């Protein structure tokens, strides 16, 4: 009950702060971001001291070295966080943009104006740098934010909150514009998800378990993706050298992320020419292949794929491979097993490129390029707070504009409805 009261009070304060933020001009928001960037550097030692508390606790409870790596705030990470704040300050402010204006036959001038969403709840796991990134994007887009990070990063997150708040106060902005939930108690998440009177949107970032928990318990709309089961379809008219490079990049360049390829579909007419060399290249890179029966004929060293491999997000050096009889079979496979995240075709055929773009129902559909480009920075949005694979509000990577909405405005001279 005490936690619930504390979280409710945070929600109320965030809502009050958002009323100020929504009318704050870009210049002031940018000053606050630059003040944050400076303070991150001048307080480096204090931050590292707090971070050490998290790190020694992490070692005590036996976190893996990869997890400890993600948790660590060293000089390099802090410099890059500070640079990130400056980059967000340099991005255009989406708030106030007029997204169209027109005159009605009765003389009423109607327009759509971009406004902040209001209050955002952001729930994430270990990396403390996300605390600063997310706060920056929310502030720039005129939203207040309540951040709930992982329990293993609590000391780091609390000192980062103090530093961000000092910059807000220095700039004359409400300190409650950025709040970190100051507890590792899990009840705090549940309480946050019930605050539909104050929060406009919740963004969870982390493993599928966290995201399912948020979706099932939230009364607030959620922007999220569960998983990325991304496909590359190597068409019969593919440039096979390009196909090999793109598939290798999509699988191997960073296998642990949501836009890495998990299943490769190969047209039967090029399978015999393409698969042996491609398989060898993957094998040399340590990729475990799981193939359909036709794949196994060509790659006898591959494992036999089971049904569970087709909808799997491996996030690892594992790849499912299937030979398809035609493009229809590739499209059917993607429709059935895909996650609406990212799909690519490799082809030199104009009609097939058009058909793939038109029919695949994914947040990014590519022709002749790696699935790894599904990312706000790579696509040119300037920033990214996450990727949404539900169709609502923003399908795909979300940058600053996706943290806003539009309202209608109308200028009249006494118009009445008859």
Instruction: Tell me the three state secondary structure of residue 316.
Output: coil
Pairing of strands 144-148, 386-388: unpaired
Kindly give the pairing relationship between strand 386-388 and strand 396-398.
antiparallel
Residue 11 interacting with its own copies (CB under 8 A): no
In the three-class reduction of DSSP (H, G, I as helix; E, B as strand; rest coil), residue 389 is classed as coil
DSSP string of 248-284? HHHHHSSTTSTTSEEEEEEEHHHHHHHHHHHHHHHHH
Query: How many angstroms separate the CA atoms of 282 and 305, rounded?
Result: 16
Closer to its own copies at the Cβ: 293 or 412?
412
1 binds its own copies (CB under 8 A): no
Residue 380 engages its own copies in binding (rule: CB under 8 A): yes
CB of 234 to its own copies, least distance (A): 13
Q: Report DSSP letters for 168-224, one per residue.
A: HHHHT--GGGEEE-----THHHHHHHT-TTT-SEEEEES-HHHHHHHHHH-SS-B--
Per-residue contact track with its own copies, 29 to 58, x per CB under 8 A? ------------------------------
Answer for the pair 220, 121: CB distance below 8 angstroms, yes or no.
yes
DSSP reduced 3-state for 304: strand
Of 287 and 305, the one with the shorter C-beta distance to its own copies is: 287
Among 3, 6, 22, 240, binds its own copies (CB under 8 A): 22
Out of 46, 108, 169, 277, the residue judged to bind its own copies by CB under 8 A: 108
We find the least distance from the C-beta atom of residue 312 to its own copies, in angstroms, to be 17
Q: How far is the CB of 222 from its own copies (least distance, A)?
A: 8
How far is 215 from 206, CA to CA, in rounded Å?
13
At CA 117, angle to CA 201 and CA 2, rounded to 5?
A: 45
Segment lying near its own copies (by CB under 8 A), choices 161-169, 298-306, 307-315, 410-418: 410-418
Q: Which of 90, 169, 272, 357 binds its own copies (CB under 8 A)?
A: 357
Identify residues 118-177 at the interface with its own copies (CB under 8 A). 118
User: Counting Cβ atoms within 10 Å, is residue 56 exposed (0-12), middle (13-18) or buried (19+)?
Assistant: exposed
Could you say which of 27, 45, 60, 216 contacts its own copies (CB under 8 A)?
A: 216
Binding of its own copies by 410 (CB under 8 A): yes
Does 251 bind its own copies (CB under 8 A)? Our answer is no
Among 72, 249, 263, 295, binds its own copies (CB under 8 A): 249
Smallest separation, CB 190 to its own copies (Å): 16
Least separation in angstroms between CB 259 and its own copies: 9
SS3 103: strand
Sole binder of its own copies in the list 75, 187, 335, 351 (CB under 8 A): 335
- In sequence order, which residues have a C-beta less than 8 Å from that of residue 100 and are 6 or more positions away? 111, 112
CB 330 within 8 A of CB 324: yes
C-alpha to C-alpha distances, 288 to 3, 231, 284, 337, nearest whole angstrom: 47, 16, 10, 20
Q: Does 210 bind its own copies (CB under 8 A)?
A: no
Rg (CA), the chain: 24
Q: Which of 201, 232, 292, 334 binds its own copies (CB under 8 A)?
A: 201
List 81, 159, 374, 383, residue binding its own copies (CB under 8 A) = 374
CB of residue 291 to its own copies, shortest distance in Å: 24
Examine residue 280 and tell whether it contacts its own copies (CB under 8 A): no
Question: Least Å distance between CB 327 and its own copies?
Answer: 14
Binding site for its own copies (CB under 8 A): 19, 22-23, 102, 104, 108, 110, 113, 115, 117-118, 200-201, 215-216, 219, 221, 239, 242, 245-246, 249, 253-254, 335, 353, 357-359, 361-370, 372-374, 378-380, 390-397, 405-418
């Amino acid at each position: 009950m005490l936690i619930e009261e504390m979280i409710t009070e945070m929600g109320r304060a965030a809502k009050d702060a958002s009323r100020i933020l929504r009318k704050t001009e870009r210049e002031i928001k940018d000053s606050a971001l630059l003040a944050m960037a400076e303070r991150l550097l001048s307080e480096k030692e204090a931050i590292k001291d707090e971070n050490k508390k998290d790190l020694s606790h992490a070692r005590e409870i036996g976190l893996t070295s990869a997890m400890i790596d993600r948790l660590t705030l060293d000089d390099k990470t802090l410099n890059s966080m500070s640079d990130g704040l400056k980059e967000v300050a340099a991005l255009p402010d989406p708030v106030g943009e007029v997204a169209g204006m027109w005159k009605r036959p009765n003389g009423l001038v109607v327009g759509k104006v971009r406004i902040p969403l209001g209050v955002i709840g952001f729930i994430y796991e270990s990396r403390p740098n996300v605390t600063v990134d997310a706060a920056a994007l929310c502030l720039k887009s005129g939203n207040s934010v309540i951040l709930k990070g992982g329990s293993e990063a609590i000391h780091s997150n609390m000192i980062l909150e103090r530093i961000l708040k000092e910059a807000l106060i220095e700039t004359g902005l409400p300190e409650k514009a950025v709040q970190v939930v100051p507890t590792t108690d899990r009840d705090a998440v549940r309480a946050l998800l019930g605050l539909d009177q104050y929060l406009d949107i919740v963004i969870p970032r982390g493993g599928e378990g966290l995201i399912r928990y948020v979706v099932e318990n939230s009364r607030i709309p959620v922007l999220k993706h569960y998983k990325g089961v991304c496909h590359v379809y190597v068409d019969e008219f593919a440039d096979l050298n390009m196909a090999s490079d793109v598939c290798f990049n999509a699988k191997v360049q960073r296998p642990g992320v949501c836009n890495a390829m998990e299943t490769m579909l190969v047209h039967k007419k090029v399978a015999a020419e393409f698969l042996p060399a491609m398989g060898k290249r993957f094998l040399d890179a340590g990729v475990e292949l799981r193939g359909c029966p036709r794949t196994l004929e060509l790659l006898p060293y591959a494992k036999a794929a089971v049904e569970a491999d087709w909808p799997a997000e491996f996030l690892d050096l594992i790849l499912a491979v299937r030979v398809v009889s035609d493009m229809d079979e590739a499209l059917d496979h993607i429709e059935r097993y895909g996650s609406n995240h990212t799909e690519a075709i490799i082809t030199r055929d104009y009609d097939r490129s058009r058909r793939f773009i038109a029919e695949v129902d994914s947040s990014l559909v590519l022709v002749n390029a790696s699935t790894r480009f599904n990312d706000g920075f790579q696509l040119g949005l300037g920033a990214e707070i996450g990727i949404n694979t539900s169709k609502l509000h923003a399908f795909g990577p979300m940058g600053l504009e996706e943290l806003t909405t539009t309202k209608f405005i109308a200028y009249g001279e006494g118009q009445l409805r008859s």
